[in-house]
Structure 1
Amino acid sequence: MEKAMQQSHGTSYAEYNRNLEKRIEIEKEREKDYKASKKLIAQFG
């Protein structure tokens, strides 16, 4: 999980847990990626 967090978001999991602002930023990015994926799937479905 640590490696995935570092590669995907450029931060460690420990920093993600410590820093609320960083956590919010990452979660917004994840939500954006999720919505883009759902939209892409809907086009092919």
Structure 2
Amino acid sequence: MLRLLLYKKRKGLVQITNLIKTTYTSDMEKAMQRNHGMGYAEYNRSLTKRLEVEKKRDKEYEVTKKILTQL
């Protein structure tokens, strides 16, 4: 999986250009639909949705890490 975000500065604003080439299996697609309510095509098209998914993943990771430290 290749992920690349290019940042271009234009008139004081930052423009983010998404160049993402993702290969995924049907099982990965099913898991994405089940866990996030969207497929990889939609995930790749929308930066907002991608950020939502990644925030959710980060939160789940932190909760899991906290549980493991308590064991």
TM-score in terms of structure 2 length: 0.61
Comparing both structures, which one devotes a greater share of its residues to strand? 2
In the alignment, which residue of structure 2 is the partner of 1:39?
A: 66
Report the TM-score, using the length of structure 1 for normalisation. Answer: 0.95
Given residue 27 of structure 1, which amino acid in structure 2 is its aligned partner? Answer: E
Q: Residue 16 of structure 1 aligns with which residue?
A: 43
Give the distance between the partners of 2:58 and 2:38, measured in 1 at CA. Answer: 17
Aligned positions, number: 44
What amino acid maps onto 2:56 in structure 1?
E
> What corresponds to 2:34 in structure 1?
7
Which 5+ residue runs of structure 1 have no aligned equivalent?
Answer: none
The 2-side partners of 1:14 and 1:2 are apart by: 9
Could you tell me the percent identity over the aligned residues? 59
- Misfit runs of 4+, over 2 Å: none
Structure with higher helix content: 1
For structure 2, list consecutive stretches of 5 or more residues without a partner in the other structure.
Answer: 1-27
Note the alpha carbon deviations across 1:1-30, whole angstroms, 9 max, x for none. 100000000011110001000000000000
